[in-house]
Amino acid sequence: MLIGLIIMVSTVYLFRKHKTTLEWKTSRTLLKTGFYKYSRNPIYIGLAFLIFGLSVYSRNVLALPLVGLFLVALRFGVIRIEERMLAATFGKEYLQYMIDVRRWL
């Protein structure tokens, strides 16, 4: 859980530092520093760690598959749309970023 919180809090701090928004529809800056050097989706990774940690902490092994379902739903739902929008907003810069940085880890 702590790993997830660290990733999410540091990523939110990065957005504030660069005076941009977490909402990709109104994003003004393409972040490529911090955890964004290693993953195009650090907040989602942080959430996955948090869900995993909560599952283990609560000793609810039935909740563990939720991490996988969460990531699959994000990948084929939200991320697909986000990537299209970011490519439309940032053009070649984002397309190169997609080549240089992995989606997950």
Write the pLDDT tens digit of every residue in 12-24.
999 889 888 777 6
- State the pLDDT at residue 83: 93
103 burial level (CB within 10 Å; 0-12, 13-18, 19+):
middle
Can you tell me the distance from the alpha carbon of 82 to that of 86, in angstroms, rounded to the nearest whole number?
Answer: 6
Residue range 42-77, pLDDT digits in tens: 999 999 999 999 989 998 888 888 888 989 999 999
Q: Would 56 be classed as within a structural domain?
A: yes
What percent of the chain stands above pLDDT 90? 66
| Stated length of the chain | 105
pTM of the model: 0.86
Provide the domain limits for residue 15: 2-100
Q: Would 105 be classed as within a structural domain?
A: no
Q: Would 66 be classed as within a structural domain?
A: yes
CA dihedral 35, 38, 42, 48 (to 10 degrees): -120
Total domains present in the chain: 1
